[in-house]
Structure 1
Amino acid sequence: MPFPLFALMLCVFGVGTSEYVIAGILPGLSDDLGVDIPTAGLLVTAYALGVVIGGPIITIATARIERKTLMLLLMGVFIAGNVLAAVAPAYWVVVVARVVAALVHSTFVAVGIMLAVSMVPEGQSGSAVAKVSLGLNLATVLGVPLGTFIGESHGWRATFWAVAGITTLATLLVAAVVRPAPATGGGAASELKVLGNRRVQIAIAMTVLGSAGFGTVFTYIAPLLTDVTHFSTGAVTVLLIVFGVGSVVGTVLGGKLADRSLMPALCALLAALTGILLLFGATASAQIVTAVLVFVFGAAAFSIIPGLQTRILGAAAGAPTLALAVNISAFQLANAGGSWLGGRVVDTAGVRWTTVAGAAVTVLGLVLGLLELRRDRRERQAEAPEAAASTGGGPRTATVG
């Protein structure tokens, strides 16, 4: 991986670790600050709402700032949020700190993706997106367990200090090795206009449906593995690491496939995810098969992300930052919606049926993808005679046809 892309990935790793690690340090935080676990758990909700609300607002407000400068400013705010959490004297201060960090999350990731794409040759956007997105995968596989260990060994505040430290190092690397890139688009008006683009809207809808299908199952994967497949709690921990490794493989593979053939690859990967979810539910009683499918599930679920982001970049080429930020916020909403749907399924039909519900949601994303693929092909076919006519080949082509 080129060093500038590594610097961006390290930033994303720090941001992802900060978002996810709260679950691992929740008990210690609640005891120290004198709040119950459900109240402490609202920190997750506060962060998610901060990402969803802050993404569009911060992106529009900073549309004219040079991209590298903006990246450094956003990381400065994020680091400040984690430092504030580390020194917070009361629970409400931690809530404020988490919201401050969350407000810049979507814009930061969107700008990081755009900087990464600006560094690679044309036709390698998917791979560039995948390399930056690897930071989120590694946050799940390495960052969260390490942050939880630090919190258990030295207290929950030490975890926030560690996140602030790694993101500070990453920010210094970005300042040293990432080249500046001009602001894209013409300001707030052009950024907002892009959201009216049909391709952008459908790409965001595909993100919501694909991610909601994943969230419907993954939120309840632990009880599925213990209650249906009868794995021990210790085995579930290992299987979650296996899932994380699968997500890394899927992200890399998805980026390469997006570079080769974007929409056909996205449709194939959504179809694969749908089939894997159905197979997951059908074979959940078989431990060996399920263990393999946990890896495959992780790979399939994350393989669609580079392609979805690349589709957004292509559709919103004139002013892509807001579209990317909204798409990143859509992941948060989709996961929340998937968790809610999965909970209703567990209550009414049992945890095993979350796989069917997840597949049903994902297949809707596949339908949208297939409609887009057909529309793209029709537009290319319509453009071909015009291109031939402009080069003097139109009449001969029509005669042969």
Structure 2
Amino acid sequence: MPFALYLLGLAVFAQGTSEFMLSGLGPEIAAEMGVSLAAAGALTSAFAVGMVVGAPLMAALSLRWSRRGALLGFLGVFLAVHVVGAVTGSFTVLLVSRAVGALANAGFLAVALATATGMVASDAKGRATSALLGGVTLACIVGVPAGAVIGQLWGWRAAFWAVALLSLPAFAGILHSVPKGAAGGPGVRGELAALRSGRLRLTLLWGALVNGATFCTFTYLAPLATEVAGLGTGGVPVVLALFGVGSFVGVAMGGRIADVRPVPLLVGGGVALCAGWVLFALAAGEPAVALVLVLVQGALSFGVGSTLISQALYAAPGAPALAGGFATAAFNVGAALGPWAGGVAIGAGLGFRSPPVVSAGLVAIALVTAGMGRRVWRERVGSVSTGAQDK
């Protein structure tokens, strides 16, 4: 893989850390800003909405620029809003900065997916995607806990400064490693025309469902660990770390298989994922079994999920930026709806075992629609990606 691809992964690592780190900093922000904890939670919601809305819009905007120019512009804005967030005394300004940062993050990820897959052979999109998305999984394993520790030691503003400083080497690396004349693509009209693919729409639907299943249970892993598995509060970091390690392994292994055997990976992985969520719901009361399943489900979730992202790019080879943008949006729709569905189940009195059941249901829906749309998904989308599709 080209070295520039790992620099893009470093930027994605910083952005993933920023997206998830507020889960451990909300009380401190609420206390200092003089707002309720629920209001502080809006900072996370603003970021999620910005990612969903901003991904396709920013991807379309980026087509006016070279890819290097778009990457540097989005990363520069992302860096700047974290500096603003670190120094502001206004909660409103902080809220706006989170929304703008999400727009920049969404645009960067869409262009980065197009750039990464453009750096490699036409049949290596899966490996390029996994190398890039490895930054997200590392953010879950390392970045988010580190952000929480920094916030506890030096205050939540220090965590914002850390994200900004982490973005600097990525900015400098992209400036010197991504070719200056890297093309932005065929233009908005050309990419929109290339998006008329039933296979792409199905892939985006499956991505939203699978990611919804992932975050439905991930959001409630803490009460599952303490209330059901009986691990105590000290076991929560272990559970989260295991899920993060599993996700990293899943992305790495999925990238090796996605380009050559995508259908067996998606079908076999999807069936195993669905069964694993059911087993997790049934066996969550057994601590040892629960810990193993957390690791396995993290690997399966991100292995299947990252493969679906690469398949979205295969489905629209003539629209790499917009396909990446819509894939980013679809996965964030799932990340927003999954926790909501799990919360509804818990609120209905079904207990903390219910989110894995909901997750299994979401994956089952994806598998059923996959069977119904099998002929559409196998449609040939051009000679560039035919080899990867038919294997």
- TM-score, normalisation: structure 2: 0.93
Aligned residue type for 1:269: G
Indicate the SS of the match to 1:108.
helix
2:353 aligns to what SS in structure 1?
Answer: helix
Secondary structure at the residue paired with 1:21? helix
Find the counterpart in structure 1 of residue 118 from structure 2: 118
- Residues in 2 aligned to 1:134 and 1:30: alpha-carbon distance in whole angstroms: 32
Instruction: Encode CA deviations 1:8-38: one digit per residue, 9 max, x unaligned.
Output: 1100001101111111221211111111111
Deviates more, 1:216-225 or 1:192-201: 192-201
**What is the DSSP-based 3-state SS (H/G/I as helix, E as strand, rest coil) of the residue aligned with 1:104?**
helix
- Match for 1:217: what amino acid? T
The Cα of 1:275 is off from its aligned counterpart by 1.0
Could you tell me which amino acid in structure 2 is paired with residue 262 of structure 1? P
The corresponding residue for 2:269 is 269
CA separation in 2, counterparts of 1:91 and 1:64?
A: 34
For residue 41 of structure 1, what is the aligned residue in structure 2?
41
Q: Does 1:86 align with 2:86?
A: yes
Q: CA deviation at 1:372?
A: 4.3
CA-atom RMSD in angstroms: 1.7
Match of 2:387 in 1: none
Partners of 2:77 and 2:377 in 1: CA distance: 41
Deviation at 1:359, TM superposition (A): 0.5
Residue 3 of structure 1 deviates from its aligned partner by 2.2
Aligned to 2:321: 321
Residue 2 of structure 1, CA deviation: 4.2
Q: Aligned pair 1:293/2:298, yes or no?
A: no
Contact 1:267 1:370 in 2 (8 A): no
1:370 CA displacement: 3.4
Measure, in 1, the Cα distance between the counterparts of 2:356 and 2:321. 34
**Contact residue 56 and residue 325 of structure 1 kept, 8 A:** yes
Q: 1:370: which partner in 2? A: 371
1:175 is matched with 175
Partner of 2:146: 146
Query: What CA distance in whole angstroms lies between the structure 1 residues aligned with 2:361 and 2:150?
Result: 40
**Contiguous gaps of at least 5 residues in structure 2:** 384-391
> What is the one-letter code of the residue matched to 1:363?
A
Q: What residue is the counterpart of 1:357 in the other structure?
A: 358
Task: Read off the aligned partner of 1:292 and give its amino acid letter.
Answer: V
Structure 1 unaligned segments of length 5 or more: list them: 384-401
Is 38-47 or 213-222 further displaced after alignment? 213-222
CA deviations over 1:335-358 (Å, ceiling 9, x no partner): 211111111111221111221221
**How far apart in 2 are the matches of 1:19 and 1:373?**
35
Residue-by-residue CA offset, 1:266-324 (whole Å, 9 max, x unaligned): 12211111111011112112111111111001101111122111111111111121121
Whether 2:250 is the aligned partner of 1:258: answer no
| Aligned residues of 1:9 and 1:132 also touching (Cα < 8 A) | yes
Q: What residue number does 1:224 align with?
A: 224
Shift of 1:118: 1.8
- Separation (CA, whole Å) in 1 of partners of 2:138 and 2:366: 26
Q: Which letter maps to 1:157? A: R
State the secondary structure of the residue aligned to 2:196.
Answer: coil
Which whole-Å CA distance do the structure 1 matches of 2:193 and 2:224 have between them? 44
Separation in structure 2 between the aligned mates of residue 40 and residue 357 of structure 1, nearest angstrom: 27
Equivalent runs, 1:341-356 vs 2, <5 Å: 341-348=341-348, 349-356=350-357
| Residue 376 (structure 1) shift | 5.3
Q: Do the aligned partners of 2:226 and 2:235 also contact (CA within 8 Å) in 1?
A: no
1:303 corresponds in structure 2 to: 303
Instruction: State the Cα distance separating 1:134 from its structure 2 match.
Output: 0.4
Residue aligning to 2:389: none
Partner of 2:214: 214
How far the C-alpha of 1:178 sits from its partner, in A, is 2.5
Structure 2 equivalent of residue 236 of structure 1: 236
Inter-partner Cα distance in structure 1 for 2:152 and 2:236 = 20
1:221-259 per-position Cα deviation (integer Å, ceiling 9, x unaligned): 211121111111111211111110011000111111101
Whole-angstrom CA distance in 1 between matches of 2:171 and 2:364: 39
**Greater shift after overlay, 129-138 or 27-36?**
27-36
**Where does residue 388 of structure 2 map in the other structure?**
none
SS in 2 for 1:201: helix
1:334 paired with 2:334, answer: yes
Q: 2: distance between equivalents of 1:141 and 1:321?
A: 28
Q: CA deviation at 1:374?
A: 4.5
The Cα offsets for residues 149-176 of structure 1, whole Å up to 9 and x where unpaired, read as: 1111111111111100111111101112
Superposed displacement of residue 78, structure 1:
0.7
Structure 1 counterpart of 2:102 = 102
Residues of 2 paired with 1:370 and 1:10: CA distance?
37
Displacement after TM superposition at 1:194 (Å): 3.8
Instruction: Report the alpha carbon displacement of residue 264 of structure 1 after superposing the two structures with TM.
Output: 2.7
Q: Which amino acid aligns with 2:135?
A: G
1:182-229: CA deviation from partner (whole Å, max 9, x where unpaired)? 1122x2223333443211111110011111112221211211121111
In the TM superposition, what whole-angstrom CA distance separates every residue of 1:86-111 from its partner, at most 9, and x where no partner exists? 11121001011111111122221121
Letter paired with 2:12: V
Aligned to 2:386: none
Asked if the contact 2:221/2:239 (under 8 Å) is kept, the reply is: no
> What does the per-residue CA deviation read over 1:20-66, in whole Å, with 9 as the maximum and x for residues that have no partner?
11112212111111111111110001111111222222222221311
Amino acid at match of 1:88: T
Q: Which amino acid aligns with 2:351?
A: G
Size of the aligned set, in residue pairs, is 379
**Aligned equivalents of 1:295, 1:29: Cα separation in 2:** 32
Distance in structure 1 (CA, Å) of the matches to 2:171 and 2:219: 32
